[in-house]
Amino acid sequence: MALLAHERYCDEIVRLTGELRAAIRGADLGATVPTCPDWTLRELAEHVGRAHRWAGEIVRTRATEEVADEKVPDNSPAGDGPAALDTWLAEGAAGTVDALREAGPDAQVWSWAWNRSAGFWARRMALETVVHLADAALAAKVPYTMAPELAADTVEEWLQIVAYAQKVGYSGSAELPRDGRTLHLHATDAPGAEWLIELGADGVTWSREHGRADVALRGPLTDVMLVFNRRLAVGSDRVEVLGDAGLLNSWLERTSFE
């Protein structure tokens, strides 16, 4: 799948942060986030804001090594109230986008991953916000929808992250089987949004195609993305699992990175 344009990712960081701010406005910031039970809604929002600022500082300074949290300016809201949190989130997203736009997608900067460019961080922060917006919406009990191209890109980026984590031996992904079994993701409402994933001897590989697999996850694209990112239960009546459900559960367990 072709990546979205750098400018689109930049636009989405601001837009999705606006949706996050709207989702938590008036909500109980002390409520537990069901999909991230170690966090309150406030802690979730602060995590997103700090991630934005951290990535923005990496890009702004053209960092060649990881930036420590204490080196990131304004890394916490100026006050405890909801208004201070709202302003801080908006300013953080805007500042990060300013840095990303000024740098352009090809600027070389540090990252933890296979791609060391500002473009990597634009995509990563946009899609990080896609997933955490779902967390916030669930905690605040407000609707959540996602544009098909963003939901599909979130699935594909996650596959890249899992494959990379397996390659470098990170966390549970190193324990993914390499026995040739396959998983199929099939969005029922978005033509072409299907992935065939193979757990091969050389690691995780995938292709954008329809095909028979040991287990298939079917449903609307947003819901398939949410299950794949462990934000919607496999047993939800919004999706259908066909075949070896244990393989899908094993995948989800080994790709939590917690």
**Calculated CA dihedral for residues 36, 37, 42, 47, nearest 10 degrees:** -40
What pLDDT sits at residue 171? 73
**What domains can be seen in the chain, in order of their start residue?**
6-140 (1.20.120), 148-254 (3.30.1050.10)
What pLDDT sits at residue 98? 98
Q: What is the pLDDT of residues 104-124, one digit of tens each?
A: 999 999 999 999 999 999 999
Q: What is the pLDDT of residues 39-84, one digit of tens each?
A: 999 999 999 999 999 999 999 999 999 999 999 999 999 999 999 9
How many angstroms separate the Cα of 87 from the Cα of each of 29, 68, 184?
Answer: 15, 23, 42
| 3-class secondary structure, 185 | strand
Burial of 32 (0-12, 13-18, 19+ CB in 10 A): middle
Name the E strands within 90-224.
182-187, 194-200, 203-207, 215-219
Is the pLDDT score of 9 beyond 80?
yes
Is the pLDDT score of 258 beyond 70?
no
As a whole number, mean pLDDT of residues 77-97 equals: 96
What residue has token string 């709207």? 22
- Tokens at residue 164, please? 């990379």
> What sign does the CA torsion over 234, 135, 251, 207 have?
positive
What pLDDT sits at residue 62? 98
Q: What is the pLDDT of residues 153-190, one digit of tens each?
A: 999 999 999 999 999 988 778 789 999 999 999 999 99
Q: What is the pLDDT of residues 222-246, one digit of tens each?
A: 999 999 999 999 999 999 999 999 9
Judged by phi (left if over 0) then psi (alpha if -120 to 50, else beta), residue 221 lies in alpha
